[in-house]
Chains A and B, each alone.
Chain A
Amino acid sequence: MNKFEAKMYPDSKGHFGPYGGRYVGETLMPALLELDAAYHDIAQDPGFQREFHELLHHYAGRPTPLFHAKRLSSHLRGAKVYLKREDLAHTGAHKINNTLGQALLAGWMGKKKVIAETGAGQHGVATATVAALFGMECRIFMGTEDIRRQAANVQRMKLLGAEVFPVESGTGTLKDAMNEAMRYWVGAVQDTFYVIGSVAGPHPYPAMVRDFQKVIGEEAREQILKEAGNLPDMLIACVGGGSNAMGLFYPFVDDPVGMVGVEAAGKGIETGKHAATLSTGSVGVLHGSKSYMLQDEDGQIQEAHSISAGLDYPGVGPEHSLLKDLERARYVAIDDKQALDAFRKLCVLEGIIPALESSHAIAQAMIEAPRRSPSEIIVVNLSGRGDKDLGIVDV
């Protein structure tokens, strides 16, 4: 395995090796440079960091527990499975870590309006939440298909005072929402902060979102060392754009710990209806950065498919592309049916209803754990709660 020098990336222009960068229209470039400078400032500013961590603690409810899923582990007859309970964070997913950071930064930069794209609605809810907390005007772009399948989150965003803009273009999913948010931002860039929800988009977003999310891995690392006395053998997290996975992985990149990112195989890789970007895609440029993506031979972006709206995206964060090429992380795909099975298993074995996104990671743990001895430890990022998915899953 190649040693991954975590602190090397990204370079000053936002490149993670051959990936990342800033591929946007000129209108947005000055705003990205301004954001990069501001982010650089707050990353070093003790006052900002203190305020951020206080909010993570008192508002978001961190640290989230690391829970030893004993019934699941004994059912699997293998490695011990621990769940990092991001589902217990305020708003029910890890997304709040990043939106608190970005909203604080928006305030620091004097911006009073925020916009965001959302797929499953978790990032939209988390953005609407912090906008309410800081008294900011908030617009959320969401595909019409996702509005249909994640209706509960649409209601939450509206209750929180956000305006939800339905996006009909394409398949009405996350990619289309992001297109529309970028278009809106081009026209409003002078007074509007774009809160990107994943480790995707142009620099500095992939690095910034990772840094706001790395609290997940920092806590998990400390918790497992305290509880088990040693590092885990493997980390597992689902990957759509890849923010919960990057957040868990990053603090472990220099450790001898295996990492598995789980993409959505949708109806099956062979059907072509999937979102397995790293497993099957090729290198291209979408939404401001270079990374693996699902595209045809002409460079047109293809539609992704997954039962889980949060994984239904044909791109992936550039740092994951680098981790894949360096073989520092392994990327696999779990299909809709496997994810649904894992969803049900976790409900009845542990009394936890996971998000369909996170269920992909659980499903991979159900494959990995039986292959390992009970002395080994797997940490799964339970990135969100599943209440939002009750309309999708037949009860």
Chain B
Amino acid sequence: MNRIGKMFEALKEKKEKALVGFVTAGDPNISDSLRIITAMCDAGVDILELGVPFSDPTADGPVIQRSSGRALAGGVNLKAVLEMTHNIREKTEIPIILFSYYNPILRYGNEAFYRDARAAGADGVLVVDLPHEESDEMTDCWTEPPEEGLSLIRLIAPTTPPERMAQIAESASGFLYLVSKTGVTGSDGLDTGKIRQHTESLRAVSSLPICVGFGISTPEDVAAIASVADGVVIGSAFERLIEENLDHPDLVSIIAEKVRVSKEATKMPL
């Protein structure tokens, strides 16, 4: 079992839900990004999602678009993200998932990517624009079973019908990422009733842990989602804080504090 599987087992023991924290790797620059990520891990993030910056992030709202733009302006590429992954792995055992659009991976080379991602200590990959119909070309060269090596995290959307949920779940590993609503990352308006419904349909076809993301920001949001899912993903809210405090001397501790209050909200009342 890789670190993702172990993490969900450990959380189950502790009766907590996973706090999955997303940041764009290298935003605002590599060294500050590493300080932010280290602080996030120390402050209670259970699973780290490292965003690989891309020039045309069509699934992302303005906040993550700008964070991607800042990282790209600093020259961050997939190779740099893998080096960052290696660097983070030396300090922590928390699961690391690389969150990318397909083109940077395709350009890097699917085999080289698999080899280097494993060597760097990554545990999973989520490729936003690679549905299961197209993903064999990426995973054909993966040599280990996904539960041991690299897990392929797949997205389930509110628009995904039940029979398709089952198809997707069949080839997924690690956990399922349920998109909370139709829209790009960081959109407003969380409908907990609908999310509960989608979670239930998903549980009917898969035993994988379910993490819910897109537009989750406040501790109240986190608590509401934690009551129905196995994990809560926060991305744009962290990136918004980074952006608002780019020149603030306490940037790192501001993010860490956000992690702490979010993590508290994942702990279920007994």
On A, residues with C-beta under 8 Å from B are 13, 21-31, 169-170, 175, 179, 182-183, 186-190, 283-288, 295, 297-301
Contact = CB atoms under 8 A, between A and B. Distances in A.
A186 B182 contact: yes
B65 A297 contact: no
A22 B133 contact: yes
Given A26-B155, A182-B58, 14 more contacts: A21-B134, A22-B131, A27-B179, A27-B183, A29-B133, A30-B157, A30-B159, A183-B184, A186-B183, A190-B182, A285-B106, A286-B56, A286-B103, A300-B54
A179 B128 CA distance: 14
Contacts of A23: 102, 129-131, 134
Interface of B: 54-61, 65, 72, 77-79, 101-108, 128-131, 133-134, 154-161, 164, 168, 179, 182-184, 187
B100 to A, nearest CB: 10
Contacts of B105: 299
A287 B58 contact: yes
A209 B139 CA distance: 31
Contact of A27 (B56, B108, B159): B159
A168 B189 CA distance: 25
B204 to A, nearest CB: 18
A25 B181 CA distance: 13
Contact of A285 (B103, B161, B187): B103
Contacts of B102: 23, 285
Which 4 A-B residue pairs are closest in the complex by CB-CB distance? Answer: A299-B107, A187-B183, A298-B77, A27-B157
A186 B59 contact: yes
10 contacts: A25-B157, A26-B168, A27-B179, A29-B131, A31-B159, A187-B184, A189-B182, A285-B101, A295-B107, A298-B104
A187 B187 contact: yes
Contacts of A287: 56, 58
A25 B102 CA distance: 11
A22 B155 CA distance: 15
A243 B105 CA distance: 29
Given A25-B155, A27-B179, A301-B103, A179 B56 contact: yes
Nearest to B159: A30
A28 B175 CA distance: 21
Contacts of B161: 30
A284 B182 contact: no
A188 to B, nearest CB: 8
Nearest to A13: B133
B184 to A, nearest CB: 5
A191 to B, nearest CB: 10
A297 B109 CA distance: 11
B211 to A, nearest CB: 14
Nearest to B156: A26
A187 B157 contact: no
Contacts of A283: 106
Contacts of B72: 300
Contacts of A175: 56
B168 A301 contact: no
Contacts of B158: 27
Contacts of A27: 59, 155, 157-159, 179, 182-183
B133 A26 contact: no
A30 B184 contact: no
Contacts of A298: 77-79, 104, 107-108
Contacts of A300: 54-55, 72, 77, 104
Given A29-B131, A29-B157, A297 B107 contact: yes
A141 to B, nearest CB: 12
B128 A25 contact: yes
A299 B108 contact: yes
Contact of A169 (B54, B65, B164, B187): B65
Nearest to A30: B159
Contact of A284 (B103, B130, B159): B103
Contact of B129 (A24, A169, A183, A297): A24
Contacts of B157: 25-27, 29-30
B103 A186 contact: no
B44 to A, nearest CB: 29
Contacts of A189: 159, 182
B106 A284 contact: yes
A299 B106 contact: yes
B160 A288 contact: no
A183 B58 contact: yes
B129 A285 contact: yes
A363 to B, nearest CB: 30
Given A298-B77, A299-B107, A300-B72, A26 B56 contact: no
B74 to A, nearest CB: 13
Interface centre among B106, B159, B183, by most A CB within 10 Å?
B159
B230 to A, nearest CB: 19
B59 A25 contact: yes
Contacts of A190: 159, 182
Nearest to B134: A21
B58 A179 contact: yes
B56 A301 contact: yes
Contacts of A286: 56, 103
B194 to A, nearest CB: 13
A26 B157 CA distance: 6
A164 to B, nearest CB: 19
